[in-house]
Structure 1
Amino acid sequence: MGLHGWRLISLIGAALLGGYILATAAGIFLAGVLPFSIAENTLIGHLSGFAFYTGAILWVFHTRRPGVAWASLILASTLLASIGLALRQPAVG
């Protein structure tokens, strides 16, 4: 069972699009959870997104199963973004 055709295209899509969405959701989560100022939380969240994006790309090609990759990335992104938005700090000033 090799990686070719639609299976490979789906894995590439999951790695690029799903990884980007996961990185953004992780940034939202960290910005809402960390105990620093809003600016510092945003900076830390965005910078850590690079690590999450790289990890997601590596993980997708490690699984080699497009369905599992898409489902896991969508579920993790949804959970991280919703928890981060629920716990965000109100704007001051």
Structure 2
Amino acid sequence: MKAQAFSWSMLSRVLAAIFAGYLFTYAFTAALSQVLPTEPRAAMTIATWPAFVIYPLVILWAFACARVRVVWSGLLLASAVLLIIGFWPQLMRVWS
């Protein structure tokens, strides 16, 4: 068998899938818990359930996407927006 060459692109995809994917899933859960019309404890529990599907889908997408730059920019931009939505009440308390 022929040895495969080291690929920075593959390493970048692995890091994006693991770390940026986890950040995205965390941000998604926080944002969903804010928009659910239930009490906070129940909303957090309900918002956690989709995370078991979202994280594997993000990992699959990180390897299916044609460009690594799209993976990183998509995950980081979406995570930033979702974090703002998810932590808006805390941000308003800090800024006021």
Specify if TM > 0.5.
Answer: yes
Name the residue aligned to 1:40: 42
Shift of 1:17: 0.6
- What is the aligned length? 86
Percent pairwise identity: 33
Given the alignment, which residue of 4, 7, 26 partners 1:5? 7
TM-score where L is the length of structure 2:
0.81
TM-score where L is the length of structure 1:
0.83
Name the residue aligned to 1:91: none
Moved more, 45-54 or 74-83: 45-54
Given the alignment, which residue of 47, 60, 63 partners 1:61? 63
RMSD over aligned Cα, in angstroms?
1.8
Consecutive unaligned residues in structure 1, runs of 5 or more: 89-93
Name the residue aligned to 1:24: 26
Consecutive unaligned residues in structure 2, runs of 5 or more: 1-5, 91-96
Give structure 1 regions of 4+ aligned residues with deviation exceeding 2 angstroms.
none
Which structure's CA Rg is the greater one? Answer: 2
Tell me, what secondary structure is at the counterpart of 1:36? coil
